[in-house]
Chain A
Amino acid sequence: MRIRVAHTTRYLYDAPVRWMLQALRMTPQPHEGQHLVAWRLETDADVRLRAEHDVFGNIVHMLQVERAPHELAVQVEGEVETFDTAGVVRGAVERLPPRLYLRETGLTAAAPEIRAFAQDATREAGPDLLSRLHLLMIAIRREVAFAPGVTDTKTTAAQALALRRGVCQDMAHLFIAAARSLGAPARYVSGHLVRTDTEAQQAAHAWAEAHIPDLGWVAFDPANGVCATEGHLRVAIGLDYAASAPVRGAVYGGGTERLSVSLRVADAAKVRSQAQAQSQA
């Protein structure tokens, strides 16, 4: 699939910004299941922009602004060719040994309830780790209802499990915490998803990857109950949301910040055929 992403983050301030620094994890890297055709990150203000790699191998753009006006926009535009690999992620940048991804974080601490949930959900699978993780993913999809607005970026996996409600981020955290408790290294993926059942996506997506001996990293999307498909565009990874968030920043001055995000993710082929259909009409 050819996935086209157009993403604008607009910051509006009621006072001038004195200084601002942001770490942007918005640029994907290739692996066997995705090939970058074009990718561009731009801003409309006078900024310093420098790309570096973080410890997980993500591309991080450090964006620095001094004395900015009341408004700043960051625009991302790109096109990526993806292939269905049944969720297996090969050929990605790997800078850390898999076992490091067994590490707990605050957001993914394996509370006793999570350990019990993981055991219950996977009992029928026997010892095979891949089967167990499939069952875990299905159980999360079944037990945790998709409910925007109930949780936020600081909600932990244990809290989401107690609520039985949340968004893709919470389900990914729960999957990660539970998978680690089963002995599988697991990590968070932030990215985009093109759904085949609607025209275009308005929100970023998150899922998880778990490491399976002899197979490597496999991407599980508990919010949809599937392993990653060619509709999944993988952008950044980390131990949890906090480590892989698209934007992390600090601002001095600026007064109150208002943020507006517009995101459009679509199958490029469909966009083109629609455009053709429109021009023909």
Chain B
Amino acid sequence: MAIFDEMHGLPGPDLPEAVRPAYRRVARWVAEAPPDLLDARRRQAELFFRRIGITFAVYGQADSTERLIPFDIIPRILSRSEWAELERGLVQRVEALNAFLADLYGPREILKAGVIPEDLIFQNPHFRLEMIGVQPPSGVYVHVAGIDLVRTGTDGFYVLEDNLRTPSGVSYMLENREMMMRLFPDMFMEHHVQPVEVYPDALRAVLRSVAPEGVNDPCVAVLTPGPYNSAYYEHSFLADKIGVELVEASDLFVRDEQVFMRTTQGAKRVDVVYRRTDDDFIDPLSFRPDSALGVPGLMSAYRAGSVTLANAVGTGVADDKAVYTYVPDIVRFYKGQEPILKNVPTFRCREPDDLAQVLDRLPELVVKEVNGSGGYGMLVGPKATLAEIEAFRARLVADPDGYIAQPTLALSTCPTLVEEGVAPRHVDLRPFVLTGAHGSEVIPGGLTRVALTAGSLVVNSSQGGGTKDTWVLDE
């Protein structure tokens, strides 16, 4: 399987050291810099990150609750034309997914047209009945989306996963850029790198644009589940950058179907809640009754239209891994256009023919739980032991509806500084798409995640992946 390298392209017999134009200067720098200088910069970066305290909690590991996500100093670079295509594809996809959600919680035309099996939606726990008939301000459901892309072989980019609930990682995008500018100011003189620093302003503008009707100067707050959440750092970071309050559920209360925040100056009305708490925990009166992270009555206020939740409740039905397989159809249905971004060809294990094929080819496939996330509970066939494969086979047979399977993708690599020097490591890309009352926009850049173990395809930070700064060139 030919592996595409972000710096060198596909390996060619004649030009093993060919460099793609966007990487010209960086490649030269990597080649010419003395190894100990690179290592010194890497250690410097780590020290800065420790000082800032940017951490990430890894569930299921006993040794530490929080740790640093490794940062790699060699940037991942996209040319302007590559980005332009991605940007169009991302906007098209997110617009279609927003239209899909408005339809599902409204007239359900797509089900009537038979494009998606009704059961796949009706049986989906993330299809929140409480949202039926609710019209979020400006019709926006997904205000912040993180779309995971991978590049394979010569075929270009594929969407691996849509993250439409409470996607995280944008703080790394911003911190990584800040770090790079601090470590390598010269490189930013030599390149026209499009700014990602506009993100907080863009997010603030989006949140303000979707305030309930009649609210001119909305009060926005970031709702976090609290310090034990894996992304707490990001929640506080964003609240700080946007310049709004960071609140936990106990800071909010509902009176007369309106949401208020307790402040030292008394109760203050809240109009827009950028919530990073999952649906299940947002309101114990509507969802999990045992949730201490929720605000009792929040759904009542939301249904009454007095507060905007971003993202809306119930977006998870559109990024479900089983629904994912229908996204190209969703794009065609709502946009009347061919999808610009491709889906990874995916087996629907709920369909008997697909299941039979998957069971036949388990050692070469990646099998994912429909409702899993973050690389937990998946099978990477080529890397699994025989025993692991057999254990997974049993799970698949017992609950085929719960799984999808994909071919093992030859993810592109990007030169990365590791123990033994600079070596290719597999990467993905999560750009962030913001949608407000005035449409969707993509911040030029994103989070590049890198699998630090040689040959590994698992880039999730929960599984020990690292990150890189992602440059979109404006030249």
Contact = CB atoms under 8 A, between A and B. Distances in A.
Interface of A: 19, 21, 23, 48, 50, 52, 54-56, 62, 64, 66, 95-97, 99-100, 102-104, 239, 242, 248-250
Nearest to A54: B130
Contacts of A50: 256-257
B285 A96 contact: no
A48 B256 contact: yes
B129 A100 contact: yes
Contacts of A239: 129
B114 to A, nearest CB: 14
B3 interface: no
B300 A242 contact: no
Given A52-B300, A52-B303, A55-B133, A102 B119 contact: yes
A100 B317 CA distance: 14
Given A23-B285, A250-B285, A102 B123 contact: yes
B123 A104 contact: yes
A64 B123 contact: no
Given A103-B123, A250-B285, A64 B132 contact: no
Q: How large is the interface on B (under 10, 10 to 19, 20 to 34, 35 or more residues)?
A: 20 to 34
Interface in B268-284: 284
Q: Which 5 A-B residue pairs are closest in the complex by CB-CB distance?
A: A250-B296, A55-B129, A21-B297, A21-B296, A100-B122
Contacts of A96: 129, 132
A104 to B, nearest CB: 7
Interface of B: 118-119, 122-123, 129-130, 132-133, 253-257, 284-285, 289, 296-297, 300, 303-304
A55 B132 contact: yes
Given A66-B255, A250-B284, 18 more contacts: A23-B300, A52-B300, A55-B133, A56-B129, A62-B257, A64-B254, A64-B256, A95-B132, A96-B132, A97-B122, A100-B129, A103-B122, A104-B123, A242-B289, A248-B285, A249-B285, A250-B285, A250-B297
14 contacts: A21-B296, A23-B285, A23-B300, A52-B304, A55-B130, A55-B133, A62-B257, A95-B132, A95-B133, A99-B118, A99-B119, A104-B123, A239-B129, A249-B285
Most interface-central of B254, B284, B296 (chain A CB within 10 A): B296
A62 B297 contact: yes
A26 to B, nearest CB: 15
A74 to B, nearest CB: 16
Nearest to A249: B285
Contacts of A52: 300, 303-304
B370 to A, nearest CB: 14
B350 to A, nearest CB: 15
B371 to A, nearest CB: 13
Query: By CB atoms of chain B within 10 A, which of A19, A64, A66, A97 has the most?
Result: A64
B124 to A, nearest CB: 8
B427 to A, nearest CB: 39
